[in-house]
Amino acid sequence: MQFSDFGLDKRLMSMIEHLGFEAPTEIQHKAIPVAMLGHDLIASSKTGSGKTLAFILPAMQRLMRNRPLSKRDPRVLILMPTRELAKQVFTQLRLFTTNSQFKAVLILGGENFNDQVKTLEKDPHFIVATPGRLADHLSQGHFYLNGLELLILDEADRMLDLGFEKQLTQINNAADHRKRQTLMFSATLDHAQVNDFALALLKKPKRIAVGSAHSEHKDITKRFYLCDNLDHKQALLEHFLANEKYQQMIIFTATRSDTERLATLLTAQGLSAVALSGELNQSQRNQIMDGFSKGQQKILVTTDLASRGLDLVNVSHVINFDMPKHTEEFVHRIGRTGRAGSKGDAISLVGPKDWISFKNVEGFLQQSLEFDQVEGLKASFKGLKPKKPKKAKSAKVTTNKKTSDKKAKSNKPKNKTFHIAKDVGDMPVMRRKATLAPEQIENNDIDEIE
């Protein structure tokens, strides 16, 4: 299939040619025709799969070909979970709108509210936004959504995980009319809240699954190293920095303070590193991301803030200094490398505190992951093993003579064992003993392997 098969406007075709894209990616191939027919859509797609164009092209086509429902209201609204992602989508959108009659604006949290009010007064055709700030403007009547034709929710799972359901519902309700089309993208479709939300929002949606968050990214080599403690992790990191041939690298840490600490440490060693954390204000975040994407620094140290969607083509290495708490973030983090067909390396450091996350990732990827070793930096830590499930205490049958017959009766049946089970009212439930599945293993249920 070629882009020319979609029947896109020739202005869009010439931009695609200018960008040098030869053929549609799988998500574009599947989603563009469905969206162009006006259907609602729920789609899953892998990171870096080209899904931004899968919604920008039908949106542009719709605006070029259809009369607006309103002269003042925005026609297309694109919502994204983070400011960085929204900026990235906005950049791609602007390629198509710059030489057209359509105005596109970006409305993000953390930026000047009054400037945004003025921007909204200019009656843009496209709004790209994060949901919290946009909902604030909507509540205050700075714009209306009665004429909205197309609502696009990107990374819907993440928006819901971040607690934006209320704002998304408010936005949806403000634009709930018969002619509205909705396109919903999510890293995974196995997400109960996404499915419930899709049921509430979408009208007879078409469902498209392209790859899955579980599936392997062939261009990324994954390596795992056992570590004893923080010092050991740092020593391994220094080894990789000295021995790996990297263009740019992203190091993910578990906490904001580690982000700062590591970036300072690396800078003190003469490396070109910068920290990105949620504590910074928006303009500082923008500055850091702009600088890094232009190659001004070689290393970005960050938390999961930068794990999703960011399109940084020169990132050859991702290092999980700490494993992510949420399993699916692993796939998003490593997806920052190996973009658009280039190769990438993802190195993960697994210490005792990372063990559970590591096992969860292993389960999530549905494969058994092996450990590599660096000569001279081998770990004595070998992993944790699940504790044997504790035997539930048997309900003792009282033999105290003083106990009345009545009380003794209440302990019947004798010699039967009651185990803690799901609460089904007041009754204890008799169950067979269950062994714990690996995914049920909790932090406090582990013993170290000798």
Torsion of Cα atoms, 43 then 48 then 49 then 55, to 10°: 60
Decide the pairing of beta strands 384-386 and 446-448: antiparallel
Question: 234 or 342: whose CB is closer to ligand AMP?
Answer: 342
Question: 125 or 332: whose CB is closer to ligand AMP?
Answer: 332
Question: 49 or 170: whose CB is closer to ligand AMP?
Answer: 49
Q: Give the nearest distance from C-beta 290 to ligand AMP in angstroms.
A: 16
Question: 54 or 350: whose CB is closer to ligand AMP?
Answer: 54
DSSP 5: G
CB atoms < 10 A from the CB of 171, how many? 22
Question: 199 or 340: whose CB is closer to ligand AMP?
Answer: 340
Interaction with ligand AMP in 302-341: which residues (CB under 6 A)?
A: 309, 311, 340
Rounded to 10 deg, the angle between the 113-121 and 131-139 helix axes is 70
Task: Read off the amino acid at residue 85.
Answer: L
Question: 54 or 346: whose CB is closer to ligand AMP?
Answer: 54
CA–CA gap between residue 287 and residue 79 (Å, rounded) = 22
Binding flag, residue 52, ligand AMP (CB under 6 A): yes
Q: Exposure string (b/e) for 299-335, b if CB count within 10 Å is 16 or more?
A: bbbbbbbbbbbbbbebbbbbbbbbbbeebbbbbbbbb
Interaction with ligand AMP in 382-401: which residues (CB under 6 A)?
A: none
Question: 24 or 351: whose CB is closer to ligand AMP?
Answer: 24
Question: 11 or 387: whose CB is closer to ligand AMP?
Answer: 11
Q: Give the nearest distance from C-beta 141 to ligand AMP in angstroms.
A: 33
Rg (CA), the chain: 26
What is the pattern of x (binds ligand AMP, CB under 6 A) and - over residues 102-131? ------------------------------
The helix (H) or strand (E) run that includes residue 168 is: helix 165-174
Do the beta carbons of residue 248 and residue 292 sit within 8 Å?
yes
CA–CA gap between residue 68 and residue 63 (Å, rounded) = 7
The helix (H) or strand (E) run that includes residue 28 is: helix 26-36
CA–CA gap between residue 173 and residue 167 (Å, rounded) = 10
What is the pattern of x (binds ligand AMP, CB under 6 A) and - over residues 165-204? ----------------------------------------
One of 32, 43, 53, 301 touching ligand AMP (CB under 6 A): 53
Question: 21 or 144: whose CB is closer to ligand AMP?
Answer: 21
Size of interface with ligand AMP, in residues (CB under 6 A): 13
Q: Give the nearest distance from C-beta 25 to ligand AMP in angstroms.
A: 5
What is the pattern of x (binds ligand AMP, CB under 6 A) and - over residues 255-294? ----------------------------------------
Do the beta carbons of residue 109 and residue 136 sit within 8 Å?
no
Question: 247 or 267: whose CB is closer to ligand AMP?
Answer: 247
Question: 167 or 293: whose CB is closer to ligand AMP?
Answer: 293
Q: Is residue 83 helix, strand or coil?
A: helix
Q: Give the nearest distance from C-beta 32 to ligand AMP in angstroms.
A: 10
Q: Is residue 412 helix, strand or coil?
A: coil
CA–CA gap between residue 450 and residue 447 (Å, rounded) = 9
Q: Give the nearest distance from C-beta 293 to ligand AMP in angstroms.
A: 11
Q: Which of 440, 348, 434, 433 is nearest to 386 (CA)?
A: 440
Residue-by-residue DSSP string for 324-383: -SSHHHHHHHHTTSSGGG--EEEEEEE-GGGHHHHHHHHHHHTSPPPPB--TT---S---
Interaction with ligand AMP in 12-51: which residues (CB under 6 A)?
A: 21, 24-25, 28, 48-51
Question: Tokens representing 29?
Answer: 């191939």
Q: Give the nearest distance from C-beta 116 to ligand AMP in angstroms.
A: 25
Contact positions vs ligand AMP (CB under 6 A):
21, 24-25, 28, 48-53, 309, 311, 340
